Structure 1
């Protein structure tokens, strides 16, 4: 069912699966409950690469060979989903723990994988399809869901799938963001950060193409009902893209291995990873090419990276890049919950440490509401924050720093050593802790954290942790 030799393991490293996962995400976002949860709680708009990395790691854990790792990840996901509930703008409730909602997420993954094979000219044989379906059923069972929310057989699955598509899916805001906004405004991954012109040139072409391919691959009844326009030639473009991605599987040397690609994509040039030196050298050469692109390509101006030595940014920048984790223009509880979720994921926390960190952020939110929410609307605008920024470091924020130190200090010796430091700041170090022979003390840690959260400093480890896209 899981690990090497499974159908999922084979498809996980298939380049076509990237296209299939975009399609599955759109079908998930079209479900009204999932779409509402994404809009209210997800960081996929403001921090898409971080969200992709976390999803990638979660799938690796759930479909890997280690049953203990799978059980821990399932428990973590269940705790995460239990915190995601609310009401959409139409007054309808949503709950990420709903068995029907969770079944639909798994259904989109399975159906999009089957569709991926068909569109690339190599449809799955019946026995392979049934085996893959059994693996996805096992995934749902590993999450603790009871049988019955997914049909027992593949034959019955297609009736279920058609019914949900025709009766339940809607033209949601989240779906439109994925199709028409996300790729058009997708920030550069850490690997290409600092090359806005080159990234912008590629995005201008790739964004609309990915959107057109995804729309063309959606079920025709839903596409028509949702009023999604299919561009002329989109079907041919879609089939060509799937065929080309399929051919990429035959590249030598495991160059399409998902893990290797993800490691490279999320590698920051500021990291102390040895590969970063090679990346830095390549970036110098690419910068020269970007200068040429800038001369010949009419792109809108994009902000350049902060000059070396610049440590401060405006309150508005800090609000947008760090505090507004969901990207809706306001600071409210889902933004701080997203910070707690990211920190818990980085540190791979179990209970009770995870709840302890969430509770510290919840206390900070209550403190912020009382001190900063001037109009009492339950959320904090960028203007309200800018006015009150100097008074941000109240007792509750200090408590957040203390709890974060405690859960990072795994051995409880009141210092954070190199390994513990890496666990928290592993995606991009702004200082090399290898072999320095000194420990990060509680007071220094708390001072740095508060300096970041109130002084809006760029050159601390917390910037890539909480501001990186």
Structure 2
């Protein structure tokens, strides 16, 4: 993709995002970046078009940890030193965004390729990066901000956007940002979901899934604080216009949070590594994995289970029935419970309570991202999922409202494994079988199931995963008949 003129400051650093000492890239090891990302995401979600695209297409509510990891990795690629990697990731993002369009609840059209909306995403990242230093008591020097702004212009150029939506100079940026805050942003549904649902109902990461009570207790204590800090960090004119709550001492709490996290900069190098922390949180514990980290996580998970059991044993309420030991439902009740669980954890990827095309598109997106597909393989995979969606609509959408409810799904589960789903499995096999050998070897299998590698194939010469076995397992999972496959953490874990 040819680069376009990113603005007058790009030449000061040899071109957009071309140096290994990227200003923006240096933020990834800064713990304050977590707070900056929350702030930037809220400002993005407050944009009507971006907010509508998030609500309709994003998996951030149902699968926040997966979404966080994918966003983190994508951003690192976009600010890396290798131009080919940047352009390849930009092309992937453009294909992804081109598939996101529709109308919001006010019947206003939105398009994820809208240049103004894309410029606002970059603007929020830049402004929040500057603000995270200002709020932590270490404001950036003017020249650093100039260089940083040039890099963000370079990011838009790499994405192929024409100049003009984002002001060319830093001096012109601040009036633009103030105008957007004062005139364009709204108290959108997406922003409310992030503030009042995401943090309050954040599911446990796979590593802590065995101690739900401990996670729920910690979340109940931390989520309100995160929400207060996030709101207090937003621009005051927007907080007032959007009617966001003002809590006594919120500003002091917010500055204290930024200052406290900012002190971690003085820890020894390597002590705070966001990528390692992200990998640890998203890793699925597996005692039989050939990955030593997964085995270590499994051992830690087992110890936490033992500790939780001991706490329940010593608790004064331990004579009450443990919810985890209650008799499992039988017959039709058991089938309905399993169907509801599968619908919620796997099919409803966006978490809106129904099965729609964006849910299946999210599955295709996750699979394509893991396999790092290019055209035309990515398009083949999306097309196969689109055919499956049409088949599902014809078989399960009994009321004709354009979506499939949990009740419609439970009543028609035998219809899930039709010819179109078989085609999805076959296409997924083909794009996973990178060398075209007709079977999936250990290395290819690992690429697809890197956080759920339950088969230890690395030490077995000649181990293969045949097309028929792959298709059979995929169909058993996607029709809800078998939940002990590698696909479970791939598509069901948060």
Match of 1:412 in 2: 436
The answer to which of 66-75 and 453-462 deviates more is 453-462
Tell me which of 372, 378, 381 is aligned to 1:348.
372
Residues 9 and 323 (structure 1), Cα distance of their counterparts in 2 relative to 1, 3 Å cut: same
What is the alpha-carbon distance in structure 2 between the residues aligned to residue 436 and residue 3 of structure 1? 43
Q: Is 2:481 the counterpart of 1:465?
A: no
> Which residue number corresponds to residue 60 of structure 1?
76
Q: Which residue of structure 2 lines up, in the alignment, with residue 393 of structure 1?
A: 417
Q: Are residues 1:339 and 2:355 paired?
A: no
| Pair 1:448 & 2:467 matched | no
- Report if the CA contact (8 A) 1:360-1:403 is conserved: yes
In structure 1, C-alpha distance between the alignment counterparts of 2:400 and 2:429, rounded to whole Å:
32
Contact 2:47 2:185 in 1 (8 A): yes
* TM-score (norm. length: structure 2): 0.90
| CA deviation after TM superposition for structure 1 residue 97, in Å | 0.3
Does residue 317 of the first structure (1) align with residue 347 of the second (2)? no
Any idea what SS the aligned residue of 1:279 has? Answer: helix
Contact 1:3 1:63 in 2 (8 A): no
Which of 248, 257, 277 aligns to 1:241? It is: 257
Which residue pairs with 1:14 in the alignment?
30
* Structure 2 CA distance for aligned equivalents of residues 129 and 243 of structure 1: 20
**Contact 1:15–1:248, Cα closer than 8 Å, also in 2:** yes
Other-structure match for 1:95? 111
Equivalent position of 2:222 in the other structure: 206
Distance 1:67 1:405 in 2: 30
Q: 1:297 to 1:41 in 2, by over 3 A?
A: farther
Q: 1:383 aligns with which of 381, 393, 407?
A: 407
Deviations 1:341-375 (A, max 9, x none): 11100100000000000000010111111111101
Task: Look up the SS of the partner of 1:79 in the other structure.
Answer: helix
1:303 shift after superposition: 7.4
Distance 1:178 1:26 in 2: 7
In 2, are the aligned partners of 1:315 and 1:456 still within 8 Å (CA)? no
Change (3 A) 1:153 1:296: farther
**Is the CA contact (8 Å cut-off) linking 2:98 and 2:112 kept in structure 1?**
yes
Work out whether residues 318 and 456 of structure 1, in 8 Å CA contact, stay in contact via their aligned partners in 2. Answer: no
Q: Structure 1 residues 302, 125: CA separation in 2 closer, same or farther (over 3 Å shift)? A: farther
1:281 aligns to 2:299 (yes or no): yes
Whether contact under 8 Å (1:37, 1:94) holds in the other structure is: yes
1:337, 1:6 → 2: CA distance? Answer: 33
TM superposition shift of 1:456: 3.5
Instruction: Report the Cα offset of residue 64 of structure 1.
Output: 0.9
Deviations 1:13-52 (A, max 9, x none): 1000100100100000000000000111111110111111
1:111 equivalent among 111, 121, 127 = 127
Is the 1:58–1:73 contact (alpha carbons within 8 Å) kept by the matching residues of 2?
yes
Give secondary structure in 2 for the equivalent of 1:314: helix
3-state secondary structure, aligned to 1:165 = helix
Question: In 1, distance between residues paired with 2:475 and 2:481?
Answer: 9
CA contact (8 A) 1:430 1:461 kept: yes
Question: CA 1:63/1:305 → structure 2, altered by over 3 Å: closer, same or farther?
Answer: farther
Instruction: Classify 1:38/1:303 alpha carbon distance in 2 versus 1 (closer, same or farther; 3 Å).
Output: farther
Residues 284 and 489 in structure 2, CA contact (< 8 A), matched pair in contact too: no
CA–CA distance in structure 2, aligned partners of residues 155 and 189 of structure 1: 42
State the alpha-carbon separation in 2 of the partners of residues 184 and 72 from structure 1. Answer: 36
After superposition, the CA RMSD in angstroms is 2.1
> Residues of 2 paired with 1:454 and 1:284: CA distance?
30
Report the Cα distance in structure 2 between the residues aligned to 1:120 and 1:423, rounded to whole angstroms: 40
Separation in 2 of the partners of 1:85 and 1:54? 21
Deviates most, 4-13 or 112-121? 4-13
Count of residues in Structure 1 that have an aligned counterpart in Structure 2:
464
**What is residue 392 of structure 2 aligned with on the other side?**
368
Deviates more, 1:127-136 or 1:433-442: 433-442
Structure 1 stretch displaced more, 196-205 or 257-266: 257-266
| Structure 1 unmatched ranges of 5 or more | none
- Residues 416, 32 of structure 1: alpha-carbon distance in 2 compared, 3 angstrom cutoff: same
The aligned counterpart of 1:430 is 454
Which of 188, 199, 208 aligns to 1:172? It is 188
1:197·1:302 contact (CA, 8 Å) conserved in 2? no
